[in-house]
Amino acid sequence: MDTQSYYPVQPGVGMEENFLSLDDILLSYERLPVRTECAFPRLGFLEKSSDTQDIPEGTKMELPLWLSKGLYDRKRRVLSVELPKMYREGWRTVFNADPKVVDLHKMGPYYYGLGSQMLHFDSPENPEIAQTVLQTFIGRFRRTMDSSQNAYNEDTSALVERLDCLEKALFRSGQIGLHGFQSWEKGQASQLTASTLVLNYRKRKITDVQP
């Protein structure tokens, strides 16, 4: 772990999206089930299941979050967005029962991000969704923090594989802190080290040479 000079654009907090953040762009690529409330002429090729020229009213299809957000309009009903299954009543009960056992990476991997983004669409269940997302985070945070602060010099892949993207980022910063503290304790904090970026570049160069 080294001090890095590359700081990517951080993802937005809560319902906000950060325009230039790569994470937020990938998050808004997640697909949502929607139902069209009006016809989209001459765009029939977007809907694979039929070969009409238009997308008729009442078609059920999957659209990425960014498109649903752009088209969604409270006054003019262009489309209605349905909840993905992990935010529906059934899964909410599971999350409320024990958030620690759920594999959020498989469910998401942007469970919290997408959950917050769902609040943009007026759904009567919004307060419950927000509550569940928050409680899930609170319920899992302690374990994430504990494991990131105590797994030193061991394989962490089993610890992170079930974490959501947000939790993974928290885990990583916990690990950086832990490693920084350990190297200070061992008196290595003042040792000058090679840049990890340079080292990684060299690693790749060797593999490039080998056929």
Q: Which residues are near other proteins by CB under 8 A? A: 3-9, 19-23, 25-26, 29, 38-43, 46, 64, 66-67, 70-71, 78, 187-202, 204-205
Report the alpha-carbon angle 118-124-130, nearest 5.
45
Q: How far is the CB of 70 from other proteins (least distance, A)?
A: 4
CA distances from 179 to 100, 117, 164, 174 (A): 26, 34, 22, 9
Q: Which residues pair with 33 in a beta bridge?
A: 62
Q: How far is the CB of 148 from other proteins (least distance, A)?
A: 17
The 3 state secondary structure assigned to 25-69 is HHHCCCEEEEEECCCECCCHHHCCCCCCCCECCCCEEEEEHHHHH
Using the minimum distance from each CB to other proteins, give the nearer residue, 9 or 138.
Answer: 9
Using the minimum distance from each CB to other proteins, give the nearer residue, 139 or 180.
Answer: 180
Q: How far is the CB of 177 from other proteins (least distance, A)?
A: 17
Using the minimum distance from each CB to other proteins, give the nearer residue, 5 or 124.
Answer: 5
Report the alpha-carbon angle 170-175-177, nearest 5.
95
Q: How far is the CB of 63 from other proteins (least distance, A)?
A: 8
Q: How far is the CB of 100 from other proteins (least distance, A)?
A: 26
Report the alpha-carbon angle 89-90-96, nearest 5.
80
Using the minimum distance from each CB to other proteins, give the nearer residue, 26 or 170.
Answer: 26
Using the minimum distance from each CB to other proteins, give the nearer residue, 93 or 196.
Answer: 196
